[in-house]
A and B are shown apart, each in its own frame.
Chain A
Amino acid sequence: MRQLIVRRLLQTLPMLFFVSVVCFTMIKLAPGDPVLSFVTPNMHADDIERIRHNLGLDKPAYIQYFIWIKEMVQGNFGYSLINHQPVLGQILERLPATAGLMGSAIALAVILAIPLGLVAGANRNRWADKLINFISYVGISIPLFWLAILLMYLFAIKLHLLPSMGMRTIGVESPLDVLKHGILPCSVLAFGFLAGYVRYIRSSTIGQLKEEYVQIQYAFGSKKSTILFRHVMKHVLLPVITLLGMSMGDLVAGAIVTETVFSWPGIGSLGMTAVKGMDYPVIMGITLFSSLMLILGNMVADILYSFVDPRIKLKG
């Protein structure tokens, strides 16, 4: 197992290199210029050129890339072109907020999706199935930002139950306060995944219910709920682990929207600002970080898979 993990980690290096080349090329091909963030109408053309030179933006793109990768190898993610703060520091500062939001959203989505998917699958074409299917369709179709505004309006403005934005009340350092602030963004992000998971579990359940072991359990007189939650669920959950690994990319995309709307101080909102300002060291840092998460997410999923079902042997 250890060998496998080391091998998989080594494989991530060329992948990250490839991602960095593609990302850098795309940034350089995209229209826009980070220096524009500094330009004011009364700024002299010489001053603009001086800023460009000081930031190293007057060098050819490939030289800029080599400088960046050289620094990267030495563990330096560079400095933001806009606020001159170290990129790594900014990512690490915001990482806990994003990790908390993503982790809780995924967990919430799984907690809700398992019973909903099982119930829908076991009651195919009955009202429960139709209701759950309807919620799933809504979840798939509804844009996250719109759902966010809707929930914010309902729970913060109309019912005064929850704060509308931010990660904490100003000046308050309390885990409970963060939990309260996290309910809406976590629910919005979870809802996007919930729909996909429910549909997946539902169809797996329908498939499993036709299997021989289920018929045997019925023959032994087991209750439907016992069969469903004790036997079928085991088989249904196995592919969900893979689904979780594959969700990492969507999770990052969802977090960008959710964090921006709720002013959640995570990597997503940092990335959004960086893209607007063409702040390429920050964009590169976040992209590499997200790619790493995606790769590691899949690796962890594979490892978990082999634990849950020992028949599966992993091969690097």
Chain B
Amino acid sequence: MRKGISGVVILVLLTLMISACSNGNNAASTNAGASQTPAETQQPAASEPKDGGSLIIGVASDPVVLNPNYAGDRVSLTIDQALYAPLFQVNNGEKTFYLAESLTPSEDNLTYTLKLKDGLTWHDGEKLTADDIVFTIDSILDEKQNSFLRANFLIGDKAIKAVKVDDLTVEFQLPQVSPAFEATLVQVFPIPKHIFENETDIEKSTKNASPVGSGPFKFKEYKAGEYLTLERFDNYFGGKPHLDSVTYRIAKDTNAANLALQNGEINVQYLDPKDVATIQATNNFEILPYSEGRLAYLMFNANSDTGALAKKEVRQALSLALSRDELIQTAYTSSEYADPAKSFLTPDALYFTNEVTSFDNDAAKAKELLASAGESNLKLRYIVQSGNKAQEAISLYVQQKLKAVGVEVELQNMDSSAWVQKFIDLKSTDYELALTGYIMGYDPDAYRILFTTDSSSNYSHYSNSEVDKLMNDGAGEADPAKRAEIYKKAQELVAEDAPIYPIAYTKTVVAVSKNYGGIDEAVLKPVVIFEDLSKIYQK
């Protein structure tokens, strides 16, 4: 039996050895900072950025695809932001040029001329030219290539054309005036023509597994389910990045990820507001709440089979029964992480105003309105994603507050995929209320699909011909002053009609280890955390 026990001991060691020796085809390199504790890595703050070191960013899943034409999930987009450089980016209305040197509209606003910077190179040393930009746009527009971005490059069902003028110049020809075109171009991160030319299916190409980009960091290694490492690209046009490498560590369990953060195994991590106090108490992290340009709102389904919410007065009455401040406390624990919302546009959007009619916290008036609308014993169905803490908390709050004005709310808990399926199905008529949110970008034209009659994402089935006209006019209006008028009026009309109850412009909270500097220059950005990772340095 002694033999048996020693056999089992050998088995333990052997099996762990087997797993250790597997998955090891990639080049090995050491990363001294990878599992140091915060105490060990704590260094005195330096005033000047230093070169070297690594950064570990915690992500919740494996990337789906490392190709910006297909990335739709948060993790892929985050990694692509470091791998691929954009043409330009816009923050608070200010343009920052990356690959592009300038973008100039023609007098008739039908042609945009894009000039590239000179001397741009891909990570493999090939030159980045106008051919790559044209190839990227053409592959987005090619139906067979299945890019998610395709619809954005159609204006009134006609495609935008990208034409090479010379190696550094591309002309974009628009079928009609579209001021939102710049917002579309912001989403473009060029892909290399010399890599993907002649690929019949770029989305499934094996070349996506070893991406060649033009961003500050280049691909080094990917261990599925574990981590993905990028290393510094010395020829980055924006100047040599400070860090030697950036690693995206996959941590699917939030509690475990928070512990790894405290242990120094992760340096940057999204935080749930409820975890902020714990992480803050360690005194090793900067807690950075920042706006993601996201609106969280209660959706009123006017198309339900009872027709209960088809009347404007009923929607207004339900809104009056609720309190934004209480909702923010309930769902986001503090007003520090969410600003009260009244408009359907988010604060980062052009022509945003929160000075619109709002219905808030007046139960007596709510009862009056319901009575005047001839509604009594109103029963509503509210769909809730099980396990989603914010949704569950808000649903209970809404149920209680609406009960106070005589409206009965039946909560229907369901699995998240069932919830999403029901929510995005425009034919769903068996519910009235749902909590959701959107990030639509900075150009107000993007919001058209949410609030115009019969449009693709008009989940509340809102219909107002005046709003339809305003949104369509705004899409084709080149004069910024006239556009501002149009969208201010549209915001007021939508607020008055109350197709949704805007709750808050929510913020994302990120914890960044105090061992790193350059955060302001790197620019905190919705969805992808940092706009330019080349600026971050280890103190």
Contact A96 B22, CB 8 Å, known A164-B260, A165-B256, A169-B31: yes
| Minimum distance in angstroms from A226 CB to a CB of chain B | 12
Residues of A within 8 A of B198 (CB): none
Question: Quick one: closest B residue to A79, CB to CB?
Answer: B204
Check if A101 is an interface residue, CB within 8 A of chain B. yes
User: A31-B414, A263-B250, A265-B224 are known contacts. Are A178 and B20 too (CB-CB below 8 A)?
Assistant: yes
| A32 lies within 8 A of B424 (CB) | no
Bound-state Cα–Cα, A44 to B151, Å: 6
Q: Does B119 contact A (CB under 8 A)?
A: no
Q: Quick check: A149 and B255 within 8 Å, CB to CB?
A: yes
Contact status A100-B65, CB under 8 Å: no
Asked whether any CB of chain B lies closer than 8 Å to the CB of A36, the reply is yes
Q: How far is the CA of A84 from the CA of B205 in the complex (A)?
A: 9
Residues A45 and B456 in contact in the complex (CB < 8 Å), given A32-B415, A40-B72: yes
Given A166-B227, A177-B20, A31 contacting B35 (CB threshold 8 A): no
Given the known A-B contacts A265-B224, A270-B225, are A44 and B418 also in contact in the complex, defined by CB atoms under 8 Å? no
Q: Is B45 an interface residue (CB 8 A)?
A: no
Which A residue sits closest to B255, measured CB to CB? Answer: A149
- Interchain CB contact under 8 A, A31 and B418: yes
Q: Which of A36, A41, A93, A176 contacts B440 (CB 8 A)?
A: A41
**Is B421 in contact with A33, judged by CB distance below 8 angstroms?**
yes
User: Which residues does chain A contribute within 8 Å of B16, judged by CB atoms?
Assistant: 100, 104, 175, 178-179, 182, 186
Q: A50-B146, A165-B251 are in contact. Are A39 and B17 (CB under 8 A)?
A: no
Contact of B225 among A94, A107, A148 (CB under 8 A): A94
- Residue of B whose beta carbon sits closest to that of A34: B417
- Report the stretch among A128-136, A151-159, A209-217 that lies at the interface: A151-159
The reply to whether B64 and A83 form a contact with Cβ atoms under 8 Å apart is yes
Is A104 a contact partner of B253 (Cβ separation < 8 A)? no
Name the residue of chain B whose CB is nearest to the CB of A84: B204
Chain B CB within 8 A of A163 CB? yes
In the complex, A264 Cα to B250 Cα: how many Å? 10
B223 sits at the interface (CB 8 A): yes
Contact of B229 with A171 in the complex, beta carbons under 8 Å: yes
Chain B residues, Cβ within 8 Å of A264:
225
In the complex, what distance in Å separates the CA atom of A149 from the CA atom of B254?
Answer: 11
Contacts of A233 in B (CB 8 A): 1
In the complex the two chains form, what is the Cα distance from A154 to B110 in whole Å? 64
Whether, in the assembled complex, B364 has its beta carbon less than 8 Å from a beta carbon of chain A, the answer is no
Minimum CB–CB distance from B275 to chain A (whole Å) comes to 13
- Is the beta-carbon distance between A168 and B226 smaller than 8 angstroms? yes
Is there an interface contact between A99 and B252, defined as CB atoms closer than 8 Å? no
Cβ contacts A72-110/B at 8 Å (1 or 0 each): 000000010011100000100110110111111001101
Q: Contact check: which of B146, B225, B256 meets A51 at CB < 8 Å?
A: B146
Determine the residue in chain B with the shortest Cβ distance to A51: B146
The answer to whether A111 and B5 touch across the interface, beta carbons within 8 angstroms, is: yes
**Residue numbers in A under 8 Å from B450 (CB-CB):** 41
Cβ of B185 within 8 Å of any chain A Cβ, yes or no, is no
The answer to the question of B37 belonging to the interface, with a C-beta cut-off of 8 Å to chain A, is yes
**Size of the chain A interface, CB-CB below 8 angstroms:** 83
Stretch of B7-15, B296-304, B367-375, B496-504 at the chain-chain interface: B7-15
A111 touches B9 (CB 8 A): yes
Measured in the bound complex, the distance between the Cα atoms of B11 and A175 in whole Å is 15
The chain A residue with its CB closest to the CB of B419 is A31
Within 17-36 of B, Cβ neighbours of A (below 8 Å) are at 17-24, 28-31, 34-35
Q: In chain B, what residue has the closest Cβ to A95? A: B22
The reply to whether A272 and B204 form a contact with Cβ atoms under 8 Å apart is no
Contact of B265 with A by CB under 8 A: yes
CA distance A37 to B151 in the complex (A): 18
Residues of A within 8 A of B178 (CB): none
For the complex, is B143 an interface residue (Cβ under 8 Å from A)?
yes
B61 located at the interface, meaning its Cβ lies under 8 Å from any Cβ of chain A in the complex: yes
B15 engages A84 (CB within 8 Å): no
Question: Is the beta-carbon distance between A170 and B22 smaller than 8 angstroms?
Answer: no
Which of A107, A165, A170 has the most chain B CB atoms inside 10 A of its CB? A170
* Contact in complex: A42, B23 (CB < 8 Å): no
Judge whether B252 and A31 touch: CB under 8 Å: no
Q: Is the CB of A42 within 8 A of B440?
A: yes
Tell me the bound Cα distance from A111 to B11 in angstroms: 11
Most-contacted residue by chain A among B29, B224, B450 (CB, 10 A): B224
Q: Are B19 and A36 in contact (CB under 8 A)?
A: no
Contact with A along B183-200 (1 / 0, CB 8 A): 000000000000000000
- What distance in Å separates the Cβ of A290 from its nearest Cβ neighbour in chain B? 17
Chain A residue numbers with a CB within 8 Å of B224 are 90, 93-94, 265
Q: Specify which of A37, A42, A179 is in contact with B449 (CB 8 Å cutoff).
A: A42
CB distance from A146 to the nearest CB of B (A): 9
Are the CB atoms of B259 and A164 closer together than 8 Å? yes
Query: B263 on the interface (CB 8 Å rule)?
Result: yes
Other A-B pairs, 6, CB within 8 Å; known A100-B16, A110-B8, A165-B260:
A41-B450, A83-B65, A111-B5, A167-B19, A272-B252, A273-B61
29 pairs across A/B with beta carbons < 8 Å?
A31-B414, A31-B415, A39-B420, A54-B146, A90-B224, A94-B225, A96-B22, A100-B15, A100-B20, A102-B15, A103-B14, A110-B8, A111-B9, A149-B256, A149-B259, A160-B37, A160-B263, A163-B263, A163-B265, A164-B265, A165-B257, A168-B226, A170-B54, A170-B249, A260-B253, A263-B249, A265-B223, A276-B416, A278-B417
Q: Which residues of B contact A (CB under 8 A)?
A: 1, 5, 8-9, 11-24, 28-31, 34-35, 37, 54, 56, 61-62, 64-65, 72-73, 143, 146, 148, 150-152, 203-204, 221, 223-227, 229, 247, 249-253, 255-257, 259-260, 262-263, 265, 414-418, 420-421, 424, 438, 440, 446, 449-450, 456-457
For the complex of A and B, list the 7 residue pairs with the smallest distance between their C-beta atoms, beginning with the closest: A100-B19, A265-B225, A32-B417, A31-B418, A103-B15, A96-B22, A178-B20
